[in-house]
Amino acid sequence: MRTKNAVGRFGEDLASRYLTTQGLVVLERNWRCDIGEIDIVAREGDTLVICEVKTRRGLGYGSPLESITYRKLTTLRKLAGAWLRSHQVRPAGVRIDIVSVLIDQGAPPQVDHLRGAA
């Protein structure tokens, strides 16, 4: 994995498969609007789940979870509202999750799922 885009795409693919094995239904990936992008939109029961995926190749800059700022969480909340308006969906609940993917050479990728980050 040489480019940042390839690493990100790999992490999102892995996260999507992981979420599916955890019982979530992936509805959409890489949804974009003028506010930004949602990496994964999923459903768990009657709850809409907005997932941000962070992938890193090592811990030199900290864990992937450490890169999620208050500002990013605020943007994710706005993106959730925009997605709901554009799809005219009214779920029982909305949750924002973070999926962290750590790719360390010589070891299998490590996936961590933080539910309800915001």
34 CB contacts (<8 Å, ≥6 apart)? none
Q: What is the mean pLDDT of residues 42-49?
A: 97
Question: What's the pLDDT score for residue 7?
Answer: 82
User: Would the pLDDT of 63 be above 90?
Assistant: no
CA distance 111 to 76: 20
Q: Decide which of 27 and 105 is more confident.
A: 27
Question: What's the pLDDT score for residue 60?
Answer: 67
User: Would the pLDDT of 50 be above 80?
Assistant: yes
98 confidence band (pLDDT: 50, 70, 90): very high
Domain 4-114 has CATH 3.40.1350.10: yes
CA distance 104 to 87: 38
**Tokens 């990496």, located at residue:** 39
Domain boundaries, the chain: 4-114
The DSSP code for 52 is E
Q: Are strands 47-56 and 93-102 parallel, antiparallel or unpaired?
A: parallel
Q: What is the mean pLDDT of residues 15-20?
A: 97
25 CB contacts (<8 Å, ≥6 apart)? 42, 43, 44
Q: What is the mean pLDDT of residues 28-40?
A: 97
Using left for φ > 0, alpha for ψ between -120 and 50, and beta otherwise, residue 36 falls in left
Contact by Cβ (8 Å): 19, 51: yes
